[in-house]
């Protein structure tokens, strides 16, 4: 859907961007789905989080995360610079507010790879703008295999994360949409279908009341 479209009446309209939250226990394939979505949907931008977690090999500061120390994170919280923040797997993570607000104001959709705590906070802060999707691995065995194959985390971290999965999964029912990621392309298609439908919600097309005015001229006047 084009961001700005000329319509016959000459009205130019810009839809209201939405906040698409993808959450899942580790290893369900959420990061891969996010990357594919960003490649296919030019109007979607990723929210880059800040974290106190050390970078993994290959991760780039400012692309994967903004890697900060604890004092910087605390300062950002105190200055109200984070839209939401939470402690996840022993490290602090948060969403910088300004980039999100700017993207939404420009009519873009923002994609969030955040946990259930972050999803709850965003829902409380901006219920009308938030669309939540929970992604599940097809089985525990598949999840375990994906975590080990990733092999960037130590065995102890893998085991710790597996232990968290049981707790994370209990939050699935808080989400509007749930996708079991058995097939990457099918899951990406499902997220795109959600996005397409949510963009068409009436409240996300605020220009419509002006747009429909042009059709009123055809209403016959009562004599």
By beta-carbon proximity to ligand 5GP, the closer residue of 13 and 66 is 66
- Cα 92 from Cα 105, distance rounded (Å): 27
- Cα 43 from Cα 204, distance rounded (Å): 14
State the residue for tokens 């375990």: 144
Q: Is 53 in the site for ligand 5GP (CB under 6 A)?
A: yes
Q: Closest Cα to residue 135, out of 59, 18, 17, 36? A: 36
CB of 91 to ligand 5GP, least distance (A): 7
By beta-carbon proximity to ligand 5GP, the closer residue of 49 and 132 is 49
| Residue 155 tokens, joined | 């065995």
| Residue spans of beta strands (DSSP E) within 97-182 | 109-113, 130-136, 177-180
- Cα 207 from Cα 31, distance rounded (Å): 34
Which residue from 13, 66, 67, 89 is in contact with ligand 5GP, where contact means CB under 6 A? 89
CB of 208 to ligand 5GP, least distance (A): 33
Q: Is 94 in the site for ligand 5GP (CB under 6 A)?
A: yes
Asked if residues 19 and 112 have their Cβ atoms less than 8 Å apart, the reply is yes
Which residue from 15, 17, 37, 95 is in contact with ligand 5GP, where contact means CB under 6 A? 95
By beta-carbon proximity to ligand 5GP, the closer residue of 88 and 195 is 88
By beta-carbon proximity to ligand 5GP, the closer residue of 41 and 84 is 84
Tell me, by CB under 6 A, how many residues bind ligand 5GP: 14
CB of 96 to ligand 5GP, least distance (A): 8
Q: Is 134 in the site for ligand 5GP (CB under 6 A)?
A: no
CB of 46 to ligand 5GP, least distance (A): 11
Which residue from 107, 117, 192, 208 is in contact with ligand 5GP, where contact means CB under 6 A? 117
- Cα 70 from Cα 203, distance rounded (Å): 39
Q: Is 45 in the site for ligand 5GP (CB under 6 A)?
A: no
CB of 122 to ligand 5GP, least distance (A): 9
CB of 47 to ligand 5GP, least distance (A): 7
Query: Which are the contacts of 6, defined by CB distance < 8 A and separation ≥ 6?
Result: 12
Q: Is 49 in the site for ligand 5GP (CB under 6 A)?
A: yes
Query: Which are the contacts of 24, defined by CB distance < 8 A and separation ≥ 6?
Result: 30, 134, 135, 136, 137, 168, 181
């Amino acid at each position: 859907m084009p961001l700005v479209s000329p319509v016959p009446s000459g009205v130019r309209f810009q839809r209201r961007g939405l906040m698409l939250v993808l959450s899942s226990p580790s290893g369900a394939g959420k990061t891969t789905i996010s990357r594919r979505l960003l490649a296919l949907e030019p109007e979607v931008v990723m929210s880059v989080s800040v974290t106190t977690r050390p970078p993994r090999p290959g991760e780039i500061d400012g692309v994967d995360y903004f890697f900060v120390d604890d004092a910087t994170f605390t300062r950002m919280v105190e200055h109200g610079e984070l839209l939401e923040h939470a402690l996840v797997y022993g490290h602090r993570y948060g969403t910088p507010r300004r980039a999100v607000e700017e993207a939404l104001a420009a009519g873009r959709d923002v994609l969030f790879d955040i946990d259930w705590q972050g999803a709850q906070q965003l829902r409380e802060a901006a219920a009308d703008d938030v669309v939540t999707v929970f992604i599940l691995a097809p089985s525990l065995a598949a999840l375990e295999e994906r975590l080990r194959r990733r092999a960037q985390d130590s065995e102890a971290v893998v085991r710790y994360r597996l232990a968290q999965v049981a707790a994370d999964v209990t939050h699935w029912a808080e989400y509007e949409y749930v996708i079991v990621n058995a097939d990457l392309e099918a899951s990406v298609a499902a997220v795109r279908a959600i996005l397409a439908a949510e963009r068409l919600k009436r409240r996300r097309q605020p220009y419509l009341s002006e747009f429909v005015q042009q059709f009123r001229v055809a209403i016959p006047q009562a004599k």
